[in-house]
Structure 1
């Protein structure tokens, strides 16, 4: 097990320690339980991780299989693969991630593509998600990749889809006129929008749309 980092989070009258590390074979049941907590109905349960997908993650790209743990309980996870992305990433989640199995992982890919990020509801707004994102940025730098890329759900969009295009909704979130629980978080983590992908995922809250969000490696010479 490779430990990426440890940090402390204050909560009421105590300070608890969070460890960010690579997840392993023995973590699979905890990771699937975490998905159930993070993505309740109407999110389709068949899109939660299964053991075969998780096996592919830890076998093909263990550097991109991260979890956050508190007192032996996994409270967050983030998964990615490497790819050379065509068409700037305007693909569905299923195509971009091989339906979560990441068998399209390219060891020499210049892009670290985010497959999934989730944090248990009880641990949200405590910085766990930001620390997972930062750990993945550090992975991008360590591997000398050009960027991190991935589709971000827009769970606030469906409520206004009759009045706004997904591009207009994203623009309003980016200017601060609206707040979206996922996209606003990604913006605060340093990721920037590079487009919208329709039919990205079967996701009623987002009207099946996603914002394509990018973080450029500041140490990559091509980004200068």
Structure 2
């Protein structure tokens, strides 16, 4: 008798988190489980696994993905007792995820038909229950299908069908399975899944209650998520040294600190003020002299952010990397960490006069007061940039700008307001005022810094939370509520973010081509006006 090899008999079953690398396997699995229904795109699944990785569960047998369970964390009460699937799980798959929500919402469960009967679905439901307990959530909510209803729809209503299944007068495997896993029926909703032909669009809202749930000492409803922002309308004037520049900057941070601002925003390339004490040079050399002061700039703002306990978006400055000049904005967190965002779109004059190269990549930064992104001046005039940032979870968009006339300023301001409306987010702008006759870009300036909101009843009139008077040195302070924008995306008068037609179009971030070097004009002293926004 040949020796028994146990490998011929055993199976390796593993429950694990899903990752972006599983996309093709998920598409294959969904094609088997939901034939004829559109599956999730790679971008949507990537966003879901990034925003809520613990909620996306897979079952693997001998290295093959055979089952998945996708979930969101939400405040389900916000959607009402008779919500439909698209209210919660709209085209932006991860957009409804709320890390402060009190419920786990099941998007879908898929089990390869070849592996059904092995209680894999039960394993997935048990994993969801474990997650619900670990996160201390009140409940799991799902919308159950009724795939057998179409066979008897001429004889009974959907409610009667559900009652017959509960009474075991009819067999409905999906609903019976969910009842067996401890879920209670809350209501039958017509139109829950309009494209579900077998269920004739009906769904059953069901709930599993976490008996281990421990309420917070305060009721777990949130009426506000306050964030105080301060925009500095910065006056440029000649300085004799970096220390004099630092003294002026510190004055504004100190003023913002007195208002206990969570964020302070400075303008784009206001550091050109430093050229007023450097030797007069031609453009290529002058911009590199300024870039050489970047370490001093970084030390200054890092120290101020920590010392004044505020997050600072330090405008932008020119930085030399790989023999090229970039316009870079830095986020200085109050915990001492630093992030960077390069300007993506370079104006013709900025490229021609300074030889600035475009950066690559839209970055979104986590902070202690929400997720933020930075669009440097001209970048805000391209709606795709803010849309990508919003897709990555940005709640506030900071726009440092430098414009030399009213037309340039209005391009930035009107586009900033449009980005606030389109993405139902806050946009904060800060510009340069004053002049330095002998420094390029600083001889003429026009600015009116402001804080912009979506245009709807919960927000300030005209969508302007606060605004400076034009062309004076000033700061503008506003209190923003991130909870308002979150709710506005769900239940606003209109919902430009939620109601996007991703079946018709989408905005996708791509890998850029290598930038082509642009040399500044040489042989001309550093004077004149350059439009950067």
TM-score under structure 2 length normalisation = 0.38
Q: Does 2:19 correspond to 1:24?
A: yes
Partner in structure 2 of residue 160 of structure 1:
152
SS at match of 1:163: coil
Question: For this pair of structures, how many residues does the alignment match?
Answer: 206
1:126 matched to 2:118: yes
For 1:28 and 1:89, locate their aligned partners in 2 and report how far apart those are by CA, in whole Å: 33
Aligned residue number for residue 183 of structure 1: 175
- Give the Cα separation in 1 of the matches to 2:119 and 2:166: 21
- Looking at structure 1, the residues matched to 167 and 94 of structure 2 have their Cα atoms a distance apart, in angstroms, of 34
Residues 73-102 of structure 1 deviation map (CA, whole Å, 9 limit, x = unaligned): 100000010111135542221111123612
The 1:87–1:51 alpha-carbon spacing in structure 2 relative to 1, beyond 3 Å, is closer
Distance 1:129 1:166, change over 3 A: same
What 5-or-longer segments of structure 2 have no aligned partner?
1-7, 216-533
Give the distance between the partners of 1:90 and 1:142, measured in 2 at CA.
28
Q: Give distance in 1, aligned partners of 2:155 and 2:91.
A: 31
1:151 to 143, 148, 162: 143
Determine if contact 1:94/1:100 at 8 Å carries over to the other structure. Answer: no
Tell me which residue corresponds to 1:34.
29
Q: Displacement of 1:14 after TM fit?
A: 3.8
RMSD of aligned Cα (Å): 1.5
In 2: Cα distance, 1:157 partner to 1:168 partner = 10
Task: Return the alpha-carbon distance in structure 2 between the equivalents of residues 133 and 126 of structure 1.
Answer: 14
- Tell me the equivalent position of 1:106: 98
- The higher radius of gyration belongs to 2
Pairwise mapping of residues 188-203 of structure 1 onto structure 2 (< 5 A)?
A: 188-201=180-193, 202-203=195-196
Unaligned runs of 5+ in 1: 1-12
How far apart are the structure 2 equivalents of 1:213 and 1:125?
Answer: 23
Q: Distance in 1 between matches of 2:124 and 2:46?
A: 20
Closer, same or farther: CA 188–100 of 1 in aligned 2, 3 Å? farther
C-alpha offsets along residues 131-179 of structure 1, whole Å, 9 cap, x if unaligned? 0010001100000000000101110111111111111111111121111
Contact 1:89 1:96 in 2 (8 A): no
Alignment of 1:219 with 2:217, yes or no, is no
The answer as to whether partners of 2:73 and 2:102 remain within 8 angstroms in 1 is yes
Query: Secondary structure, in 3 states, of the residue corresponding to 2:12?
Result: strand
- Picking from 126, 130, 136, the partner of 1:138 is 130
2:449 alignment counterpart: none
> For residues 164 and 119 of structure 1, do their structure 2 counterparts lie closer, same or farther at Cα, with a shift above 3 Å needed?
same
Deviates more, 1:89-98 or 1:122-131: 89-98
| CA distance in structure 1 between the partners assigned to 2:156 and 2:147 by the alignment | 14
CA–CA distance in 2 between the matches of 1:122 and 1:74?
A: 12
Distance 1:139 1:89 in 2: 23
Q: Decide which structure has greater strand share.
A: 1
